[in-house]
Amino acid sequence: QVQLVQSGAEVKKPGASVKVSCKASGYTFTNYYMHWVRQAPGQGLEWMGWINPNSGGTNYAQRFQGRVIMTRDTSISTAYMELSRLRFDDTAVYYCARERSYYDSSGYHDAFDIWGQGTMVTVSS
Amino acid sequence: DIQMTQSPSSLSASVGDRVTITCQASQDISNYLNWYQQKPGRAPKLLIYDASNLETGVPSRFSGSGSGTDFTFTISSLQPEDIATYYCQQHDNLPRIFTFGPGTKVDIK
B43-92 residue pLDDT tens: 999 999 999 999 999 999 999 999 999 999 999 999 999 999 999 999 88
Tell me what pLDDT residue B21 has. 98
Please compute the mean of the pLDDT values over residues B26-39 and round it to a whole number: 96
Banded pLDDT at A122 (limits 50, 70, 90): very high
Cis? peptide before B102, omega within 30° of 0: no
Contacting residues of A for B99, CB less than 8 Å apart: 47
Cross-chain Cβ contact B100/A35 below 8 Å: no
- A113 near B CB under 8 A: yes
List the beta bridge partners of residue B57: none
Of A46, A110, A116, the CB nearest to B100: A46
- A109 near B CB under 8 A: yes
Indicate whether B94 pLDDT > 80: no
Note whether B87 and B41 are within 8 A (CB): no
Please compute the mean of the pLDDT values over residues A62-77 and round it to a whole number: 97
CA-angle at A120, arms to A115 and A121, nearest 5°? 125
Indicate whether A34 pLDDT > 90: yes
Angstrom distance (rounded) from CA A119 to CA A5? 10
Tell me what pLDDT residue A107 has. 82
Closest of B83, B101, B89, B102 to residue B19, by C-alpha? B83
Please compute the mean of the pLDDT values over residues B8-28 and round it to a whole number: 97
Tell me what pLDDT residue A6 has. 98
Tell me what pLDDT residue B92 has. 80
